[in-house]
């Protein structure tokens, strides 16, 4: 899986890991959860709030697009098969890493995962997911992006 474009897209995140983990306390940026399954959305929102994230939730891609256009987010977590507009469609709609996207999809769909990274997704995790691991992965994305760009506005 992958090729030169995929590997090149991951390099900024990998090289910024050390710097991101050394960041002092930074103002939080909101997280947008665009997940159609209400229980999964509520569980993830609860875990993110416990990690001190400011979370907004929507259940479809149309609402997610509107929220992204109206507000700056530290990260958008979008389901790949989201009603209205899929997570991949949302990712295509916005410039790479503005905001960074973490996609959530079904296991066994390697082509979709590879496509997500080619389009600029910061991360991808599959259902079913561990809420604590998903939270850790979501919370680290804005820190990595900020470290790579020199910004100081990210999620805790």
Question: Which pair of tokens denotes residue 68?
Answer: 């992204």
Mean pLDDT (whole number) for 98-121: 91
Scanning 22-60, the segments in alpha helix (DSSP H) are: 38-50
Residue range 114-142, pLDDT digits in tens: 999 999 899 999 988 999 999 999 999 87
User: For residues 33 and 55, is the Cβ–Cβ distance under 8 A?
Assistant: yes
Predicted local confidence at residue 19, as pLDDT? 37
Residue range 31-61, pLDDT digits in tens: 999 999 999 999 999 999 999 999 999 999 9
User: For residues 72 and 102, is the Cβ–Cβ distance under 8 A?
Assistant: no
Alpha-carbon distance 86 to 80, whole Å? Answer: 5
pLDDT above 60: residue 85: yes
Q: pTM to 2 decimals?
A: 0.76
On the 0-12 / 13-18 / 19+ scale of CB atoms within 10 A, 56 is middle
Q: Which of 2, 10, 46, 5 is nearest to 135 (CA)?
A: 46
In the numeric block, the tokens 């090149």 are attached to 8
Question: Which pair of tokens denotes residue 86?
Answer: 């899929």
Which domains, and CATH codes, for the chain? 28-149 (3.40.50.2300)
Q: What percent of the chain has pLDDT over 70?
A: 76
Alpha-carbon distance 75 to 111, whole Å? Answer: 23
């Amino acid at each position: 899986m992958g090729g030169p474009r995929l590997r090149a897209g991951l390099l900024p995140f990998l090289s910024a890991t050390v710097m991101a983990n050394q960041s002092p306390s930074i103002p939080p940026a909101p997280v947008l959860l665009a997940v159609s399954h209400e229980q999964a959305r509520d569980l993830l929102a609860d875990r993110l709030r416990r990690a001190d994230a400011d979370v907004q939730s929507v259940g479809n891609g149309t609402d997610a697009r509107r929220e992204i256009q109206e507000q700056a987010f530290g990260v958008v977590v979008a389901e790949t098969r989201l009603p209205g507009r899929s997570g991949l469609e949302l990712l295509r709609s916005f410039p790479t890493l503005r905001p960074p996207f973490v996609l959530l999809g079904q296991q066994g769909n390697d082509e979709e995962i590879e496509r997500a990274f080619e389009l600029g997704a910061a991360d991808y995790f599959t259902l079913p997911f561990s809420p604590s691991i998903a939270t850790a992965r979501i919370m680290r994305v804005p820190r990595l992006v900020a470290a790579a760009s020199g910004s100081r506005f990210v999620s805790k």
